[in-house]
């Protein structure tokens, strides 16, 4: 079964620093990949998605992710962290032919002033 692994359950960065959240997927066929963000006491909001078009995907709030087939990775980055970026981030995969999402365990991002 396809799965995603998010490296690091907690990531802490300083305001203005680079944000890098790691996601690796397991699949022999490139799946569709997603990053969602969950703010406290809220639902999940889509940041960006990869559906086999451009490998560099730009999302909302200045986030982007690069699909690297050779590394089976889909890491999320943002050049400069803002305090408002503090949240939990989930990487998800939609296996080919399926419609459900398979989520990683999540990474809690903390921003230090």
* 36 in contact with another protein (CB under 8 A): yes
Beta carbon nearer to another protein, 13 or 37: 37
Beta carbon nearer to another protein, 18 or 98: 98
At 42, list the tokens: 């809220």
SS3 110: strand
User: What whole-number distance in Å separates Cα of residue 30 and Cα of residue 18?
Assistant: 27
Provide DSSP, 32-88.
EEEEEEE-TTS-EEEEEEE-SS-SEEE-GGG-EEEEEGGGTEEEEEESS--GGG-EE
Kindly tell me which residue out of 89, 90, 107, 111 binds another protein, with binding defined by CB under 8 A.
90
* 18 in contact with another protein (CB under 8 A): no
* 100 in contact with another protein (CB under 8 A): yes
Burial class (CB in 10 A: 0-12, 13-18, 19+), 101: middle
* 25 in contact with another protein (CB under 8 A): no
Beta carbon nearer to another protein, 29 or 100: 100
* 32 in contact with another protein (CB under 8 A): yes
Contact set with another protein (CB under 8 A): 32, 34, 36, 42-46, 49, 51, 90, 92, 98-106
């Amino acid at each position: 079964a396809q799965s995603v692994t998010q490296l690091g359950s907690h990531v802490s960065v300083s305001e203005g620093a680079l944000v890098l959240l790691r996601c690796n997927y397991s699949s022999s066929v490139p799946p569709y990949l997603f990053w969602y963000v969950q703010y406290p006491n809220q639902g999940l909001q889509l940041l960006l998605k990869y559906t086999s078009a451009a490998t560099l995907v730009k999302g909302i709030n200045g986030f982007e992710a690069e699909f690297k087939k050779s590394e089976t990775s889909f890491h999320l980055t943002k050049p400069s962290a803002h305090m408002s970026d503090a949240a939990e981030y989930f990487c998800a995969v939609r296996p080919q032919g399926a419609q459900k999402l398979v989520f990683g365990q999540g990474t809690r991002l903390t921003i230090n002033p």
